[in-house]
A and B are shown apart, each in its own frame.
Chain A
Amino acid sequence: MNHTATIPGIKQGLHPLKILIIILILLGLGIFPFVFENRFYISLITEMMIYGLLAMSLDVLLGYTGALSFMHNAYLGISAYVVGLFLIHVSPTSLWLACFAGIAFTTIVALPVGWVQVRTGGLAFALLTLAFGMMFYTIVWKWYSVTGGDDGLMGMPNPDITLFGWHLGSSSDPVAIYLFTLVIAFICFVLTRRIINSPFGAVLEAIRENENRAAFVGINVRRYKLLGWMLACILASISGALFILYKGYIGPSTMSAFAGAGVLMMVLLGGMGSLWGAFVGAALFIYIQDYISTMSEHWEIYLGLVVIFLVLFLPTGFVGLGDHLKRFRKG
């Protein structure tokens, strides 16, 4: 029994066992491409990590701020387009500058959108994410001369990837992308976890639990919601930069409402309000999608059914499943 007083919402340090597990998972993922040289699985895991990062960014919004975004993939798309356009038109070699441009541009776009959205309250916030998401989708789809319209952005150069002075190889090499994604995703995960476990994260959770009460305590609800939104959008833009490096291509379908529902489902599958659950959810989702899409073209029906099933019977997702089992074992 642990009787030490803890401030609610602010978690204490990690259990050594958990640190060990995390190190083992990292090591396992790190040596994976050198042991199994199957390119298909290397790409699949890269995609899982990129979408895990996106799902984690949505989880920051949904699980901690309690605000729902139907089309968070729009911010992945915007960032990916900007990185791609920068590499094509400005400089085909300066990768870090391109990523910085993508993140900066997404921030500039997300700021006014978030500013309007946090003013309107819970439900309208969710409806507006859909409307703004569709707006970005329409722009990308119809602005043929810049974005390539329906065909997507073609002719991406393959810049060299260097990380902390360590040359990983060209971006056309799946192993280089894999390692790059692994490192960036892990850094983002650690940083986000640190932010969420700080008093700032506690404020976000207070807003999620009761917005009015948080306001009475003297918290500027709109400001914190906007900060939460910006954090989520910046994380999404990082995943966007990784996405275009990994695919070498971006089309409007990545920004569609359908893809947005997929991201939402990753968070649901993993369980809301736990950052690592988002990665588990993304891995499960991408694996299932890969499996079903080879069998049936009516993937929408299954997606809908799985979402309905999850909300009705397993609203806590994979993470909650573990808690259920624990409670079951204790009796």
Chain B
Amino acid sequence: MQIHRTGKHIMGGTLGIIVDISLNSLVLSGVFLIVAIGLNIIYGLSRIMNMGHGALYAVGAYTGYTLVATGLNYFAALIIAPIVVGAVGLLIERTIIAPMRKRSMVYTLILTYGLMFFLDGMIKYVWGNKPCFIDLPAFLKGTIPILGTQYPIFRLATLFFIAAIMGGLMLFLNKTKVGIILRASSTIPEMVSCLGINMNYVHMGAFVLGCIMAGVAGIIAGPLTTIDPLMGGEMLISSFVVIVIGGLGSLRGAVIAAILIGFVQTLAEFFITDLAMVIVYILMAVILAFMPRGLLGEGKFE
């Protein structure tokens, strides 16, 4: 994903540029983080790597675009779009993922890869190839001065929203009964199923939760970037980079890796626009050459 430049930091001087870059990279990290956490929840519980996750993120953004374009408030879209993506995820889980649960990883990878092309094709079929933009309500469009730069209000709001989502997810996983069941199932699924909990529902719930996260990321990222059919694929690769660097299935690793990748990508885009992603890939290769299991290793839920 490439966040649109604000271009207002010229008046702010060096300090303004630094603040601008830091905040932008935090926003980017936040979006990466939400997509990557969604992938990690599904992987941590069902050992399924969903290659269609990027396409689901794009579905979230496009749904948000359609909702806002039909005259709905952005905040309503913020709630409805993830639910729509969750419903799509439920449908996918019931029809093609559930029958594949016992098969080897290679097959589920190829299956969800096929799913990705199907979803991407459907997106192009429904919304066309044109880039779209989500129109924000007036009071979110403005900018506020922070430390010598004019920073868009919406991005600051996004940062708070992402923090709230992450906090909510932590509370959900640590305090509620469903969250505890999810965490327990990621460690000892046999024991959980012995306690009389239907693992089918656990896997289903994890998949839908992951898809909802993709939808949330999509609707947040929609106003930050151009919505086009390529956005899903780009985000898929970025989130893979994040979870592979952080350690597959590790939530804490994903947080660290997302912040790292967000900063590196924003800096690289600032200094060398075209080959920014190449820097990110090389960084990934160097980290993995020395820490093959990622920064925190194959992880479990918190």
Contact = CB atoms under 8 A, between A and B. Distances in A.
* Binding between chains A and B: yes
Interface of A: 62, 66, 68, 70, 112-113, 115-116, 119-124, 126-128, 130-132, 134-135, 138-139, 142-143, 257-258, 261, 264, 268, 298-308, 310-312, 315
Interface stretch (B64-72, B135-143, B274-282): B274-282
Given A131-B284, A134-B281, A310-B114, 18 more contacts: A112-B285, A116-B289, A120-B288, A121-B292, A123-B105, A128-B244, A143-B275, A261-B113, A298-B124, A298-B125, A300-B117, A303-B121, A304-B115, A304-B117, A304-B120, A308-B96, A311-B107, A312-B111
Nearest to A306: B114
B124 A119 contact: no
Interface stretch (B150-158, B175-183, B188-196, B233-241): B233-241
A303 B114 contact: yes
B235 to A, nearest CB: 12
Residue of B282, B285, B293 ringed by the most chain A CB atoms within 10 A? B285
B231 to A, nearest CB: 14
Interface residues of B, number: 43
Interface in B211-270: 233, 237, 240-241, 243-244, 248
A123 B40 CA distance: 13
A275 B111 CA distance: 22
Interface string B118-132: 111110110000000
Nearest to A260: B113
A261 B112 CA distance: 11
B100 interface: yes
A115 B241 CA distance: 17
B78 interface: no
A123 B116 CA distance: 17
A112 B47 CA distance: 28
20 contacts: A62-B106, A66-B106, A68-B106, A70-B113, A116-B285, A121-B293, A123-B109, A124-B248, A131-B244, A134-B237, A142-B275, A261-B114, A261-B117, A298-B125, A300-B118, A304-B114, A304-B115, A304-B118, A305-B118, A307-B117
B121 A301 contact: yes
Contacts of A132: 281, 285
Contacts of A115: 289
B124 A68 contact: no
Contacts of B111: 307-308, 311-312
B244 A120 contact: yes
A132 B244 CA distance: 13
Contacts of B278: 135, 138-139
Contacts of A298: 121, 124-125
The list of the 3 closest CB pairs from A to B, nearest first, reads: A307-B114, A304-B118, A300-B121
A304 B119 contact: yes
B99 interface: yes
B110 A68 contact: yes
For B109, B114, B233, the residue with the greatest tally of chain A CB atoms inside 10 Å of its CB is B114
B237 A130 contact: yes
A300 B113 CA distance: 12
Nearest to A139: B278
A264 to B, nearest CB: 6
A158 to B, nearest CB: 33
A304 B116 contact: yes
B49 interface: yes
Contacts of B233: 257
A115 B275 CA distance: 23
Contact of B49 (A119, A127, A315): A127
Contact of A138 (B106, B120, B125, B277): B277
Contacts of B240: 127, 130-131
Nearest to B99: A312
A257 B234 CA distance: 11
* B113, B248, B274, B294: most-surrounded residue (chain A CB, <10 A): B113
Contacts of A315: 103, 107
Contacts of B118: 300-301, 303-305, 308
